[in-house]
A and B are shown apart, each in its own frame.
Chain A
């Protein structure tokens, strides 16, 4: 489903050029469960942003469903994000003035779906996440775990193929953290491709495929046990 070919991303910080990603080659199949680990500054977040089409590579190609994305306009990328990709953030990023239900509904609203069609979809997600009795609450009336569940609900309501989670348990205590990670795994079992970026070894090891990143390169990939960086020219 996803293929990265010789992908680089560099930033200009002051007069210094920082190579956040260097010649990454990566293939992800539909339904996979990956974790990305590595120290701060190893390029995890940059990789996530590029996979989420929030950022564009400096060189190389990113193919999503066999289609190249580098030539897409900003608006085209927005459409792909809306339809194929769901995001879960460490700090939830819920809109405080909207209720749980409205936060989940937001992607459908942005897609221009009529209210009548939206309702059953949102109801289903609420039921699935056991949030039905919290639907009318504002985010600040919810616990951290509930907030992250709402954020997950918002990420899956459009039935995306890919779910990107950036430190999804970072702000949570261990009990709610476990609940959230189990929820994500259940979703993966139902067919969604899941990619979790984390510092937490115990969470990273739960994934079927583990990537370790160091200095903008994939240092190890449990799927093929070869060091991908060797492909650099």
Chain B
């Protein structure tokens, strides 16, 4: 039998059993839709979260004071160590070959006031390089000036929310802010980057690192960001930085260097696993749909016993009989999968409209994979009934021994 004849034959059958075919189609479509929808949501969520945390370039290292023996666990994030990381350490690192920029960081919370308005703000002490490394843009005014690390200057850059809280609609540039005993002149306003998952830079104030040291009465740095000229010598540069600090710290290796990549890849792994798990749970429904396909095919075989007998009597080989049943199942599976993919795409389109910041898209592998799984499931579960039909003896089938006798 030619393929076209198969399809025509089956389409007629499907049309005749309209309700049953519709239900079968629905079952497959629901499963495929669930898989695609959930993978799409998972992927969107992953891209969103990674985008939120992907604030630093690939060539940026993060150094924290303190070191733990156990690797793989939580790095010493508290930033408290028995020996401080100092500005001199940062300067020394900046002089290394492959290092293009170094941003020391002191962070804290401080009451910031202007006139009678005051607000507790996230306070960052750093330098010009910090703006480049964190990819911060200035909406008004300018970023912190290029200064030697240890030189202080009473200037600050503030986030847009903080600006609104302290100045309302009045101009902020050139105004003075008070932080405990110090005064800072506002020289820049950060561009609003929208709600984020990490630190909300919109509520932050950035001052030169030397000023922050004085403000918090603290010499030790919380973090040092190190930007490398090229990615090539990442490992080697890391080792050279550690060796340098070991030398400077009397032979003790007491800092930890992490790359954003290592953090993100761990993160990405978790999110990927989650997406897969969720899609897998949805995939269970495919198994259920498969069982349904088998059940319906079995019923079809017993209902169409006479027809099978007739086909065989007309000289139709067993293989063709099996193919009739298998091709019916795969037509159903393919059209169900197509329907499911279309519905999931529609729903994701709506979701993208509702949450434009999250890139909901089902990856191609999930779409092809789910269609493939649907077809494979259908063929697998239809195999037994098809085999049963193919092996029917034509005489029995024509006589239809099981035909109703009441």
Cα–Cα distance between A171 and B406 once the two chains are bound (Å):
11
A contacts with B: majority SS? loop
Cα–Cα distance between A95 and B405 once the two chains are bound (Å):
9
Per-position binary interface string of chain A over residues 68-97, scored 1 when its CB falls under 8 Å from any chain B CB and 0 otherwise: 000000000000000000000001111110
The answer to the question of A58 belonging to the interface, with a C-beta cut-off of 8 Å to chain B, is no
The answer to the question of A139 belonging to the interface, with a C-beta cut-off of 8 Å to chain B, is yes
User: Which residues on the A side are within 8 Å of B406 (C-beta)?
Assistant: 91-96, 139, 147
The answer to the question of A222 belonging to the interface, with a C-beta cut-off of 8 Å to chain B, is no
Q: Which of A81-117 contact B (CB under 8 A)?
A: 91-96
The answer to the question of A140 belonging to the interface, with a C-beta cut-off of 8 Å to chain B, is yes
Cα–Cα distance between A94 and B406 once the two chains are bound (Å):
5
A156 to chain B, nearest CB (A): 18
User: Which residues on the B side are within 8 Å of A139 (C-beta)?
Assistant: 405-406
User: Which residues on the A side are within 8 Å of B405 (C-beta)?
Assistant: 96, 139-140
Nearest CB in chain A to that of B405: its residue? A140
B306 to chain A, nearest CB (A): 17
The answer to the question of B236 belonging to the interface, with a C-beta cut-off of 8 Å to chain A, is no
User: Which residues on the A side are within 8 Å of B404 (C-beta)?
Assistant: 96
B302 to chain A, nearest CB (A): 14
B35 to chain A, nearest CB (A): 40
User: Which residues on the B side are within 8 Å of A140 (C-beta)?
Assistant: 405
Cα–Cα distance between A112 and B129 once the two chains are bound (Å):
90
Nearest CB in chain B to that of A139: its residue? B406
Nearest CB in chain B to that of A92: its residue? B406
Cα–Cα distance between A91 and B405 once the two chains are bound (Å):
8
User: Which residues on the B side are within 8 Å of A96 (C-beta)?
Assistant: 404-406
User: Which residues on the B side are within 8 Å of A95 (C-beta)?
Assistant: 406
Cα–Cα distance between A91 and B403 once the two chains are bound (Å):
13
Per-position binary interface string of chain B over residues 367-406, scored 1 when its CB falls under 8 Å from any chain A CB and 0 otherwise: 0000000000000000000000000000000000000111
Nearest CB in chain A to that of B404: its residue? A96
Nearest CB in chain A to that of B406: its residue? A94
User: Which residues on the B side are within 8 Å of A94 (C-beta)?
Assistant: 406
Per-position binary interface string of chain A over residues 137-167, scored 1 when its CB falls under 8 Å from any chain B CB and 0 otherwise: 0011000000100000000000000000000
Nearest CB in chain B to that of A95: its residue? B406
B274 to chain A, nearest CB (A): 50
B402 to chain A, nearest CB (A): 10
Cα–Cα distance between A42 and B213 once the two chains are bound (Å):
110
Cα–Cα distance between A93 and B406 once the two chains are bound (Å):
5
List residues of A whose CB falls within 8 A of some B CB: 91-96, 139-140, 147
List residues of B whose CB falls within 8 A of some A CB: 404-406
| 3 smallest beta-carbon distances between A and B, as pairs | A94-B406, A140-B405, A96-B406
What are 12 A-B residue pairs whose CB atoms fall within 8 Å in the complex?
A91-B406, A92-B406, A93-B406, A94-B406, A95-B406, A96-B404, A96-B405, A96-B406, A139-B405, A139-B406, A140-B405, A147-B406
A139-B405, A139-B406 given; name 10 further pairs at CB < 8 Å. A91-B406, A92-B406, A93-B406, A94-B406, A95-B406, A96-B404, A96-B405, A96-B406, A140-B405, A147-B406
